[in-house]
């Protein structure tokens, strides 16, 4: 299958034209309108430093159904002890920077400086969110992603203390359940997320879930200062 090159117009080719390895297109930009359009169509950017922007729509898709979250007994003990304090949208940029720095130390990162700024812009628009894990006043773990309708697209997580990112993720899943979200999209396979209950589904099934989730209004704003949502709108 051909790999399409994007132009200035915010439009993507149909996802059924995706190549066998999940790549749909290259090029374009990371402006909010393009990112929102991409996620709404089951597409996400993922590329390494020095490469053009690469847009993906893999089949199968790796997702976590919220009611299938698996929490080990040892992790339940950690949560009951209150080892971590969890906040939302208090340190979004710091969470993304921490994810970027951790992966640069390991084997390179897809969180380029352009990606950092792009997702921080989505955060400013109330569309991208973070969950932060704190211990003794220090940020020790977190996760961030994009929220549209009642779909949450997880991007990355980090931890500098054992179980910190798990605590942030578990709390995020519980929050998404309370808000009646459909799923957390993990995009591609990781053993870590599999251990927590994520699994593959076909892209066709994913697109059905996505369409249903996007029928709801996006809950924009800072989740850390929004105690309650009603009919998709934040109330004080």
- Determine the pLDDT at residue 105: 63
Domain 4-59 in CATH 3.30.70.3550: yes
In this prediction, residue 233 carries a pLDDT of 42
Check if 4-59 and 62-226 are the same fold: no
- Rounded CA-CA distance 210/177 in Å is 16
pTM of the model: 0.92
Using CB atoms within 10 A of its CB, is residue 84 exposed (0-12), middle (13-18) or buried (19+)? buried
User: What tens digit of pLDDT does each residue of 102-140 get?
Assistant: 766 666 668 899 999 999 999 999 999 999 999 999 999
Show me where the domains of the chain are located: 4-59, 62-226
Architecture of domain 62-226: 3-Layer(aba) Sandwich (3.40)
**pLDDT band of 231, cuts 50, 70, 90:** very low
Mean pLDDT, range 182-204, rounded to an integer: 96
Model confidence at 222: pLDDT above 70 = yes
3-class secondary structure for the chain?
CCCEEECCCCCCCCHHHCCCCCEEEEECCCCHHHHHHHHHCCCEECCCCCCCCEEECCCCEEEEEHHHCCCCHHHHHHHHHCCCEEEECCCHHHHHHHHHHHHHHHCCCCCCHHHHHHHHHHHHCCCEEEEEEEECCEEEEEEEEEEECCEEEEEEEEECCCCHHHHHHHHHHHHHHHCCCCEEEEECCCHHHHHCCCEEECHHHHHHHHHHHCCCCCCCCCCCCCCEEECCEEEC
pLDDT at 106: 63
> Residue 58 has what pLDDT?
96
At residue 102, the pLDDT reads 75
Does position 14 have pLDDT exceeding 50, yes or no?
A: yes
Instruction: Give the confidence band of 236 by pLDDT, cuts at 50, 70, 90.
Output: very low
To the nearest 10°, report the CA torsion of 182, 184, 186, 190.
-110
Calculate the average pLDDT of the chain.
92
């Amino acid at each position: 299958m051909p790999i399409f090159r994007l132009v200035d117009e915010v439009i993507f080719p149909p996802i059924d034209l995706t190549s066998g390895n999940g790549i749909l297109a290259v090029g374009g930009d990371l402006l909010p309108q393009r990112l929102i359009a991409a996620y709404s169509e089951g597409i996400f950017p993922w590329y390494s430093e020095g490469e053009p922007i690469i847009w993906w729509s893999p089949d199968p898709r790796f997702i976590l159904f919220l009611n299938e979250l698996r929490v080990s007994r040892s992790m339940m003990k950690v949560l009951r002890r209150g080892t971590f304090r969890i906040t939302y949208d208090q340190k979004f940029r710091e969470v993304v920077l921490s994810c970027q720095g951790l992966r640069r130390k390991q084997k390179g990162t897809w969180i380029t400086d352009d990606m950092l700024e792009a997702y921080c812009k989505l955060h400013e628009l109330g569309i991208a969110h973070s969950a932060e894990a704190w211990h003794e006043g220090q940020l020790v773990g977190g996760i961030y992603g994009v929220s549209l309708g009642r779909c949450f697209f997880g991007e990355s997580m980090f931890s500098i203390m054992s179980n910190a990112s798990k605590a942030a993720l578990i709390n995020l899943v519980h929050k998404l359940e309370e808000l009646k979200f459909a799923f957390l999209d993990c995009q591609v396979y990781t053993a870590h997320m599999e251990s927590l209950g994520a699994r593959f589904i076909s892209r066709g099934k994913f697109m059905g879930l996505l369409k249903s989730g996007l029928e709801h209004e996006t809950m924009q704003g800072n989740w850390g200062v929004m105690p309650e949502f009603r009919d998709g709108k934040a109330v004080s």
